[in-house]
Every structure is written in C-alpha cells, then in structure tokens.
Structure 1
Amino acid sequence: MFRHLKKAALGVAALACATAFASAAQADSYPEKAITLVVPYGAGGASDLAGRALAETARNYTNEQPVIVVNKTGNGGMNGARFVTESDPDGYTLLLSRVGMALYPAVYSDSPVAWDDYTFLGILEATPMILAVNAESDIKTIDDLIAKIKESNGATTYAASGPTAIDGFSVQALLSDAGLDPLSASTLVPYKGGGALAAALLGNHVDFLAISAGSLMPHIQAGKMRALMVYAPKRMADLPDVPTAKELGYATAAQVGGWSGLYAPKGLPDDVVAKWKDILGKVATNEQWLDLAKKRGSISVIGDEDPSTYVKSQFDLYHGLAVKFGYIQ
C-alpha cells in the first residue's frame, strides 16, 4: 500500500514539475505571434497616439513579434473595450485603455463593461488636457472666456466627444467652478476623435474646447491655437506661461485629467502578466517612449501607480461628478 502511495506521490510531484516547466517555457516563448492592441477611439486622438507609441516601443521586447494597433471605435470607447473583454485571455489581444474605461461605467449603470472587467497590466501615462481657443479669437485669457460665456446666454459653443466624455466633463467642471450651469451655460457640439475635435476649433466651428494636450500641442506650437489653461498638477514645460486650473482656483476642474493604461481580458495567466510587467518596466526607461510621450505633451508614469487602485479612484471621481451634475439621480 505504502509503495503505491509513494509512487502516486512521485507522480504528482513529477506532474507539478512538468507543469511548472511548461509554464516557464510558455513565459519564455510568449509572444509567439503578433499582438493586437485595440485602441477604442478614432485615429489621430490621444489614445491612438499613445497606442502607436506603445506598439512602436514595446516591440523591442516582444521576441521581435509586432504589436499591431487596431482602432475599434464607438459607444464612448466601450465597443473596443467589450471586444477585448470578450477575447481569449491569452495575451494576444490587449486594450489601450483611457479614462473613459473608468468614466463610462461610472456614469451609465447599463455600461456593457464594468470598470474592473479586466486584467490591469499598468498605467502608462498622464495626459494633461488643455483649454484652448483659435489663435484668431478675441479671447485672450480664461477670464475673457468666462465673461463671454456669461454674456452669451448659452450661445457660446465648445467641441467634445459627448457631455459625459472626459472632454465634456473638462468644460462642465470649469463652468461649475465659475458658478455657471454646467449643462446650459455653453452649448456642446459633438465630434468623434481628437483629430475631429481639433479640426472643429481650427475651422472656427466652435468657440473653444478642452481636450488632451496630444491632440492640441502641434497646433499650439504652430501658432494656430491659443492655450488658456491646463488641466494638470503643474504647468507644462512646453507651456510655461499657461496657468493650471488649480492655480486659477477651479477646484473641480483641477481633478479632471486624461491617462492611458494597458489592460487585458480578465483571467490572463500569471506568467503573461509577469511578462508584460517586465516589458513595461523596460518601456518605462526607453528613450524612444519617453521622447514620444514628451512630444505628445504626456508624462510617463509606468510603475508609479497600482493600476487597480488607481482605476477605482478614477471611477469614484467621475461617479461623484455625474451625481453632482445631475446625470445620475
């Protein structure tokens, strides 16, 4: 009897060793084919730029396998997000997440994807937002803008993806801080994607907007737009004369900001999670990644935040704003 038990124990031990060896081999061999990085917003916007920068940099550490960016737009980013959550958790379909992945479920109880329906791999970057007008505008300062909004009785216009998108909340938070009705003091004109939003301001189709720095900096640097305020903890190095929302006393607006993260479907194997943590650790110090982030007006924060804790705090923030502004009763 004991001889049989001993043989069984040896068999279990051998199986455990074989499993561990196979797992280690899988971790060493992953990835063995191209990785799809889903960007849930349109081409040319902050998420697309961040996704392509990550793809270009990460491929140096993915066994020479390419990281292919695919834009899957619609429903406030939720179409792309849902596609990833419904994909196999094998490490070959990932999501370039944005604040919308926390914001949308914070506002809509029927969100097709919950804020935590993912494996969180890391927070990549903070993306300051900029409040800007066309360079030809007679609005020179934030005070000029607020005065014009007050005088217009709702006739001023701003471009945003939607009222409960991050670029909608950026303006509404400012209006609320200024003692104005966040939903009626100025009129939202909807556009899809950072490129379209910027084009609307360049074409004088709207009076102002407040969107990601990555979508606006090239136009500001070209002298086609004028920055009035930044949504960031401190002034941007490339815009040293432009004050922050916090400096100007806009407390709610000062809490609003963009960011990018890297998510995978829930249930991603631990060895693949570890592989991506290693890849991101290398990306964090890669000069190409840092240079591209700087050009987008972003700040690399890889490794600075526990992703699940950070995303939960963002969910809580925007749920609170949605209640305050009346989107949730």
Structure 2
Amino acid sequence: MKSLMKTVLAAAVVALAAGTAHADYPEKAVTIVAPYGAGGASDLAARALAETSREYLGDQPVVVVNKPGNGGMNGARFVSEGTPDGYTLLLARVGMALYPAVQESSPVGWDDYTFLGSLEATPMILAVAENSPYKTAEELVEGLKANPGALTYGASGATAIDGFTVQALLADNELDPLTAATLVPYKGGGALATALLGGHVDFLAIAAGSLMPHIESGKMRALMVYAPSRMDTLPDVPTAAELGFEKAGQITGWSALYGPKDLPEEIVTRWQETLAKVAEDEKWLELAERRGSISTAGKEDMAAYAKSQYELFNGLAREFGYIK
C-alpha cells in the first residue's frame, strides 16, 4: 500500500510540475521556422509574427530561422519531429498541405502537427503584361480556347500552387489543364515576374507580393485575384469565385502557425490567445497590408482548413493525372 501511495504521489508531483511549467510558458526564446528562403512569403510572415507576438508572450524573444529545401518539407519535418514543448514552431504555408497531397512519398503528412491557428491569406493574381491584348480573365480564357496550347504561362512547377492556379482555371473552362496552355518553369516569384515583363510568357498567376509593384507601376495588368475577398489595393479586380470559377475559386496562398504533434493544451491555449491579440495589432495589420496579405489571424479552424486544402489539391492532382 505504501509503495502504491508513493507511486501515486510521485505521479501527482510530476503532473503538477508539468502543469506549472506550461503555465509559465514561454520562459525563454521561441523559434519560428520558416520552411522557405529569406525574403519569401513564409519568411515575411514569420518575421511579422515574431515582431508583433512577443509583446503578448511576456516579452520573450521570438526568433525566425529559415530552413528551406524539398518544397518546404525540410523545415516542416524539423518541426514535426521536434520536442512538443512550444519552443520550436512552424510558419506553415499552403505547401504543407499541397506537397503531401501530390507527393505520395512526402516525408511529412498534412496532419503531422498541432494546429495553432491561421495567420493570413496571401492572394495570387492572374496577370498579363501591359501590352497584352487581354483586358479581363474572360478575354484570356477566350484566347486560350481559340489557340489551344499556343499561349504560355510561367510557374515554379506543374504541381506547385502557381501551376495549379492556372490549371484549375483551365479545367473550370473545360480546357485540358495540361495542354491548353504551355507551362514555362522558373524558380521563384522574382524570376517569374521578370519573365512576364520580358515577354517570355503570356500570363501567370502567382503570389501578389511578387506582382504588386509592377501592377502599381502600370507594367502589368491584374485580371483576377485568387483570394477569399477582393484586395483593398485592387478593389476593381474580381476574385475567381466571383467570376464563377469553382476550382480556381478554392485556391489561394496562406500562412498558419503549427507546432509538433501533442503540444500541451496550455501552450495551444496561450498561442490561440496570442493570435487573437495579434489579429487586432496595428503593426501586424500594417505589415500584412504592406506584403499584400489579408489577415486571418486566429479566425480559421486550422485543422479543418488544412484538411480541406489537402483534399482540394489531392483531388486536383488525381483529376489532372499527376497521381493515380
């Protein structure tokens, strides 16, 4: 009996100590891993979150570390396999749902995380150069129908999000997503924007952050936005959903905050409370607007949204023949 009581008491002490430790979280710097290169969407969102969240975390430092490679999976795996103590988190991007949806050998599953909350929608923009004959998305679609395979578009890959933006639009208009337009691959948003400016491709649909300076200068024309709502900076440009494009209307870029599986509930709650405060933070909102994003901080049921995004891209990959 005494032995049993000692065991119970020891377990209670451990549980109490753990609860107290979590209640004091964070007691040291928190690291946010950005799984893509410096200057990209994940890096910018991570640094904006680091700058604004520390005030609501007892003024503990929040630092950003870039771990790019393998379509974002290097950074994703580093976090998903880490210790679930809340000190190493992931600035997740749409690729965390998309990559496992199209790569059956993905090293990380879409659900190998604790989902802490959404951060932002990062619109994609369907754009042409200023001298293009196409003034609207509908006119571009008519041009694609009139000349199957003749028009070219830039993307970082067929199964990357900026490949799916175009292919979904083609499928929505009963065009072959693989042959109705010719994909020309480039690495990164800067190279893609340069390709459109130089006339090397006819159109593209990539992240707003890479295109807005050229749209604002008049060197590019925005035809459509892939986002849940119109952009404040492009109030006259319709969304894909507004134009009735079912598949394209479900595609947008996004950022979220993830942790390793089995994060303690106290840490999850602390971050949910923090994101609710970040959502109202003027600096966060200013930085989101500056990078062309729409803040969704803490507003989405992130587990459900990530699942729906995985299912979307997995369905498109099967429909388009990338996986069986």
- Structure 2 length normalisation: TM-score? 0.90
Alignment partners' CA distance in 1, 2:270 and 2:228:
32
Quote the residue 2:33 is aligned against: 38
- Say if 2:25 and 2:267, in contact at 8 Å, map to a contact too: no
CA contact (8 A) 2:150 2:181 kept: yes
Tell me the alpha carbon deviations over residues 29-71 of structure 1, each in whole angstroms, 9 at most, x when there is no partner: 51413x3222222333322222221122122233333322233
Q: Measure the CA separation in 1 of the matches of 2:224 and 2:283.
A: 28
1:1-329 residue pairs with structure 2 within 5 A?
Answer: 4=2, 9=5, 12-13=8-9, 16=12, 19-33=15-29, 35-329=30-324
Instruction: Check conservation: 2:22, 2:264, Cα contact below 8 A.
Output: no
| Residues in 2 aligned to 1:236 and 1:26: alpha-carbon distance in whole angstroms | 39
- Are the aligned partners of 2:117 and 2:299 in contact in 1 as well (CA < 8 Å)? no
Range moving further from structure 2, 178-187 or 132-141: 132-141
Task: Work out the CA distance in 2 between the residues paired with 1:113 and 1:14.
Answer: 36
Counterpart residue identity of residue 26, structure 2: Y
Counterpart-to-counterpart distance in 2, 1:57 and 1:258: 21
Residues 1:152 and 1:109: Cα distance change in structure 2 (over 3 Å): same
CA–CA distance in structure 1, aligned partners of residues 281 and 31 of structure 2 = 21
Deviation at 1:310, TM superposition (A): 1.5
The runs of 4+ residues in structure 1 deviating greater than 6 Å are none
Structure 1 unaligned residues grouped into runs of 5+: none
Structure 1 residues 192 and 60: alpha-carbon distance in aligned structure 2, compared to 1, 3 A threshold: farther
2:26 and 2:60 in contact (8 A); partners too = no
Once residues 235 and 247 of structure 2 are traced to their aligned partners in structure 1, the CA distance between those partners, rounded to angstroms, is 22
Distance 1:72 1:309 in 2: 26
Cα distance between partner residues in 1 of 2:114 and 2:318: 28
Secondary structure at the counterpart of residue 159 of structure 1: strand
Partners of 1:298 and 1:59 in 2: CA distance: 21
Q: 1:237 to 1:37 in 2, by over 3 A?
A: same
CA contact (8 A) 1:157 1:187 kept: yes
In 2, the alpha carbon distance for the partners of 1:52 and 1:75 equals: 22
% identical aligned pairs = 65
Counterpart secondary structure, 1:251 = coil
Contact kept, 8 Å, 2:114 with 2:258, in 1: the verdict is yes
Residue 10 of structure 1, CA deviation: 8.2
Distance 2:303 2:257 in 1: 11
Shift of 1:300: 1.7
Normalising by structure 1, report the TM-score: 0.89
- Any idea what the Cα deviations from partners look like across 1:172-214, whole Å, max 9, x if unmatched? 0111112211011112222333333333323333221112223
